[in-house]
Amino acid sequence: MKKLLIQQFQYLGIQLIGISMVLLSVINPARSQTQDSKSIESYKPAVLKLIYTLNPSASEKSLLDIILIPPSGDSVAQRTQINPKEFSRLLRQFYSDVSSLRRFKTSNATSASRQLYDILIGPLHDEIRNRKITTLLISANTGLQAVPFAALHDGKEWFGTQYSYSLTPSLSLMKQGQSASTAMKRGLLAGASQFDGLAPLPMVPHEISQIGRIKAGTIYLNENFTQDVLRSLSKKQDIDFVHLATHAEFLPGGPKKSKIYLGDGAISLSEFSQLRLAREENPIELFTLSACRTALGDHDSELGLAGLALQSGAKSAIGSLWYVDDIATSIYFIRFYRLLERGFPKGEAMRQVRAEFANNQIELRGQSAYDREGEILIENLTTNQQRKLKDRFDHPFFWAAHIMLGQPW
């Protein structure tokens, strides 16, 4: 079986040695963001490849191939047969449970979260644990790219609080020999809070302002957030991360139909087509879309706007799978950048934030939200905003929507 799956990998044009080289290029401590020697020693990445092959006949079993590829040592592969109708039902139920604030019953082994964990991760659960893997680059084909993996549950813990991870629509986007992530020194921080015909986003100015205090960058808000600002990215080689907090929409038809709303209208994602070429030797480290439902596209491009940002040449991109409360989103990203500034790899910073949300470690004191270390995240919250925070953000709705594409390190 293992030989068969390895042959399938080669048929797809993905060489295992190439994948291993990608991993080896990022675990060199001298080139990592991680500053703590103990963290470096325990940092163990791997690729998890998921290949779902739908049988044309819905009445027959479809195939799911799961392959774990470490930077060294043997790869492990498992093939399972699954009922496509039941699998589709579970995926729909799972997405509905997570994105609608429906109560989770993780103690129930028949819940969609538990059953999908058993299907997608379970066959290699022991291998991942025994090899002490900490970080996974998940390469999933069509049908699995929009799964909120963070909210899968093994009966004891959420997948997203156990592992740092990212998704990629194709391993071909992961360049061999590309250097590991470096400390992000200067960013472009932009957002819009008022729109014509769209709901306002009152937390955006707070979010951008707080991130600007954590990471050096140029800030553009509302009327100053223009098309020229984004077009300038191809020329400003010193900008190594981008954070956009605004409305966005992904429409069928690719980049030309997908929009990011600015302070002076909207811009098509096709505008980023030249960015990859212009920044090929100096790619943007991280492109974050702190906006509504930016990681979910159509059947032909499941990873939506964030996937298009990744294709524009960024090493990593962050988007959301569903519409998330703006207070929770702002708190999430402020805490995320604070951890990045302390030397956490990108995927590990997201894992840490997910764990803090899931364990109710975001605290309301007076009119301010505080993180687990007692630092202020957001000040001067309104009565309504305070009420939302008191209701807690431990449900996966608030922390499982944000997904990272590309490099998790």
pLDDT digits (tens, 9 = 90+) for 316-339: 989 888 888 889 999 999 999 999
Q: Give every CB contact of residue 67 below 8 A, 6+ residues apart in sequence.
A: 5, 9, 47, 48, 49, 51, 75, 76, 77, 78
Q: What is the pLDDT of residue 63?
A: 94
Sheet holding 259-262, edge to edge: 248-249, 259-262, 265-268
Flag the least confident range among 1-15, 105-119, 147-161, 224-238.
1-15
Kindly report, residue by residue over 127-169, the tens digit of the pLDDT.
999 999 999 999 998 788 889 999 999 999 999 999 999 998 7
For the chain, give every domain's residue range: 2-173, 187-342, 360-393
DSSP state of 285: S
The confidence score (pLDDT) of residue 214 equals: 96
What's the CA gap between 386 and 365, in Å, rounded? 9
Q: How far apart are CA 76 and CA 240, in angstroms?
A: 36
Indicate whether 356 pLDDT > 50. Answer: yes
Q: Indicate whether 67 pLDDT > 70.
A: yes
Residue whose C-alpha is closest to residue 206's, from 51, 382, 80:
382
Any residues with CB less than 8 A from the CB of 228 and at least 6 apart, and which? Answer: none
Coil vs helix vs strand at 83: coil
Q: In sequence order, which residues have a C-beta less than 8 Å from that of residue 54 and are 6 or more positions away? A: 62, 84, 143
Q: One-letter amino acid identity for 345?
A: P
Q: Residue 172: how many CB atoms within 10 A of its CB?
A: 12
Q: State pLDDT tens for residues 173-184.
A: 665 555 555 678
- With 70 as the cut, is the pLDDT of residue 241 above it? yes
Predicted pLDDT at 82: 93
pLDDT recorded at residue 254: 63
* CATH T-level fold of 187-342: Rossmann fold (3.40.50)
Rounded to an integer, the average pLDDT of 364-374 is 95
CA-nearest of 262, 282, 281 to 271 is 262
The per-residue pLDDT for range 192-235, each reduced to its tens digit, is 999 988 889 999 999 999 999 999 999 999 999 999 998 888 88
pTM of the model: 0.89
